[in-house]
Amino acid sequence: MPPAISVHELAKRYRTTHRSDRAALLGLTLDVPPGEIYGFLGPNGAGKTTTIKLLLGLIRPTGGGGAVLGHALGSVDARRRVGFLPESPYFYEYLRGEELLHYYGSLFGLAERVRRGRVEELLRLVGLWDERRLAVRKYSRGMLQRLGLAQALVNDPDLVILDEPAGGLDPIGRREMRDILLQLRERGKTVFLSSHILAEVETVCDRVAILNRGELVAVGRIGDLLAGGREMELTIHGANGSLSRHIEAIPGATIHHGTDATVVVVPEQRFVYPIIDLVRQTGGQIVALHAKRERLEDVFVKLVGGRGGTAGAAAAPAQADRV
Amino acid sequence: MIAQRFARYRTVLTALVLLACVAGAQALVDVYRPAANDEAGVQFSAAAEVVRGFAGQIRGLLADFIWLRVDEYAHRRRVVDGDINRGDDEALMPLVRLITWLDPHYVSAYALGGQWLAFHFGKPREAVLFYDEGIRNNPAAGDLLTGVAFVDWRLLHDNKAAASRVEQAASVTNDDQVRFQAFWLEAHILLDGGDRAGALRVWRRVGTMPGYSQTAQHFIDQIAHGKAVPAAPAAGSGTLHP
Amino acid sequence: MPASVLVVARQVMREAWRRRTLPVLALFGCGIIIATAFLSFFQLGTEIKFFKDVAMTVIFLFGAVATLVLVSTQLSGEIESRTIYNVLSKPIRRYELVLGKFFGALAAIAVAVAPMVAILMFFMSVDQGGSLLEAVKAGYMLWLSFAVLSAVALAIASFSSSVVCAALSVLVYVASYLKGAVIAYAGMVTYSRLAAGAAQTFYYLLPNFENFNVRTAVVHNAVVPWAYLFRTTLYAAALSAFFLYLGTQIFEEREF
């Protein structure tokens, strides 16, 4: 099956003044496989929303190109099969929730009979059925977000593009959103999810791409991206000075003395056994020992290097693998 | 290559073609424009064009509002209240002028303006010019013809011209009562100028109008016997001025 | 016509109704016309003329305001309120959106203007104040002028904010009425053929809203020829097409 989204060297520069411009996206190359939930991550200003706008034809690329569901970027044919939830969705305030979905549905050319069934199904799915006759201006932020998701699904799209879908949602809302995304995947849909909430992304996404300063710094399956961590963490009671000296001799190891316990992190498993021996000899006690697995957040912070994000920007993007 | 170049200029070309269509349509519209706006043959000065331009679609209403003021002054204060010493008579003509610029079919404004120019400001020749403009813009306005006839007769003492104007006034209406009034005035002007034969001719014509034969005969008898002629109407009366 | 144009047009009509601006303007206009009909302090003869003048002016003013309020908040309003993202991510072409806004505005304005024309006709018939057909023609001509004004406003809205759009549209409208004066002055102050030619070109190319003004004919009981109606319709169509084309071209190039 062809990729749901495929872009090659996609670039966008914005003209800031008469003579200068600013690069928002620098030659992004990306393939989003069909039927997956694809996380699209990056700090503010990394170029995530720019990429989404390019995919939908809201802006035009200044370089490169690509296809969405086999159609040209931003083409009507592509948009016919795409659902889009913008960041902080804004709707016609004078419409009722139900009418809004009907309006968007009719823009897809759905017959009224089809629309009626679809609108009811979606309003029930996002939990707005009881508020369907309420004017949109009376909706809370979370309700708007739910309505936004409903309108993104009104055409039963093959590809759903979500820009910060969890914004404004409470924990229950987030959980429901996650369930909906998983349901979509089960039905073979592709979800392209741009988010700041890395824990969410880590839970639902099959793959992620991390963007920083307009460049791709990492892309791959979640498992692969996190697999790099082989560190071990030991928590020790009654450690003495000889342990500190021992740890200092191990390259890449750290030791942290707390009030109750000492926490030692070693880069590999082979360093653990000598430490256990040493603690035993000195009368100390190992109270915990576990593999220190990286979280997506760690990978993210490591790659974008804090706000400035210089780390990955210069490096070649990693393919599963921090390309 | 040619196709590519054409595509680049397609937008400009299309816009130009559409503009040409606009100009063409304007030319088509211009053929009927004066008739549609009932302003055929009306000549506006540049100043009038500016006033009309600024007033745009609301010029008719503006003319009405100005007329309300003029009418109030000319009639209630001046005629009914007898307040003739207000000292702002001069303000009347510019207002009347504005009205006729805004609406060249405002016959009442021409009638009032002509009357005031002639009888209040003592400018009969200007009054005739003003009346003539009004008649040009409203050829069927018998009021204006009668009004200018009074100026010709009473102030310029040109009875012949006055009689001709009234004759014209009689010809632009089908209303026998109005025609009778015009003929009555014409006969009187002719008689005043010593043209008894002319006056008799007019009354004979009146006699052919259904319902007016007795009246006509009465005046014919009076003229034939050299009896007293009807009193001359006061200046300005006999018109349908506001 | 593509179905999405109709969908957007219907949406514009619904918005016009829901936002209350158009119904309130129409109601207010009808109220003024009815009130004028009952003012009888004017002298005989002037009364019906005055009534017709007031009614025509009210229809024009309220119609123009309704047009500007409605159209200037369409494209620019969508951009300012960011609802444009949702719309343009759907399978609709940008020119379809502009056309939908245009036709929706025309329908909404027709609905707003129709009751005012009907009231004018009613009182004209009561007072035997002239041909009702001519009143319908005058209403139609005013509506044509609002159509052109809508196209002008949409063209301006394709690159500006709602406030700028409304202001510029008013300027174009006023300039259109003043151009007769400009040309008249150009004719007076210059003896150069080039300048006169330029003034003439100016006349033919700029919108000429005066074409749609048949107020005098209605007030003075003249007959507006059918041929004039037809030609003015052509003119309105050509002018609207030109401005809509400009608007769509600019809107196509815009980035959101």
Nearest alpha-carbon partner for C51 in C38, C37, C62: C37
Confidence of residue C67 (pLDDT cuts 50, 70, 90): very high
Q: Render pLDDT for A170-220 as a digit per residue (tens, 0 to 9).
A: 888 888 888 889 998 998 999 999 987 777 888 888 898 988 888 888 888
More confident residue, A163 or B49: A163
Q: State ipTM.
A: 0.85
Mean of all residue pLDDT scores within chain C: 86
Cβ pair A60:C255 closer than 8 A: yes
Total-model pTM: 0.81
Percent pLDDT > 70 in chain C is 92
pLDDT at B21 over 60: yes
- Cα-to-chain-centroid distance, residue B228: 33
Q: Render pLDDT for B134-158 as a digit per residue (tens, 0 to 9).
A: 998 888 888 899 899 989 988 888 8
Q: Collect all residues of chain C within an 8 Å Cβ-Cβ radius of residue B56.
A: 173-174, 177, 209-210, 213
Q: Collect all residues of chain A within an 8 Å Cβ-Cβ radius of residue C93.
A: 76
Q: Render pLDDT for C133-145 as a digit per residue (tens, 0 to 9).
A: 888 998 999 999 9
- The per-residue pLDDT for A239 is 78
Residues listed for chain B: 242
Nearest alpha-carbon partner for B182 in B171, B191, B193: B171
- The per-residue pLDDT for A17 is 74
Instruction: Pick the range with the lowest mean pLDDT from A78-82, A298-302, B192-196, C24-28.
Output: A298-302
- The per-residue pLDDT for C23 is 93
The subunits that touch chain A, with at least 3 C-beta pairs less than 8 Å apart, are C
Q: How many CA atoms lie within 13 A of A4 on its CB side?
A: 22
Nearest alpha-carbon partner for A104 in A78, A124, A71, A82: A82
- The per-residue pLDDT for B40 is 60
The subunits that touch chain B, with at least 3 C-beta pairs less than 8 Å apart, are C
Q: How many CA atoms lie within 13 A of B176 on its CB side?
A: 9
Which of residues 65 through 124 in chain C touch A, CB cutoff 8 A? 81-83, 85-93
Burial of B175 (0-12, 13-18, 19+ CB in 10 A): exposed
Q: Collect all residues of chain A within an 8 Å Cβ-Cβ radius of residue C18.
A: 94-95
Q: Is A114 on the interface with C (CB under 8 A)?
A: no
* Pairwise CA distance, residues A190 & A30, whole Å: 15
pLDDT at A314 over 60: no
Nearest alpha-carbon partner for C102 in C77, C76, C70: C70
Nearest alpha-carbon partner for B241 in B119, B139, B159: B119
pLDDT, mean of residues A66-95: 90
Q: Collect all residues of chain C within an 8 Å Cβ-Cβ radius of residue A154.
A: none
pLDDT at B74 over 80: no
- The per-residue pLDDT for C112 is 93
Q: Which of A91, A106, A108 sits opposite C86 (nearest CB)?
A: A91
- The per-residue pLDDT for A310 is 40
For A81-237, where are the alpha helices, taking DSSP H only? 97-107, 112-125, 141-152, 171-186, 198-204, 222-226
Place of tokens 């010029």: B59
Percent pLDDT > 90 in chain C is 42
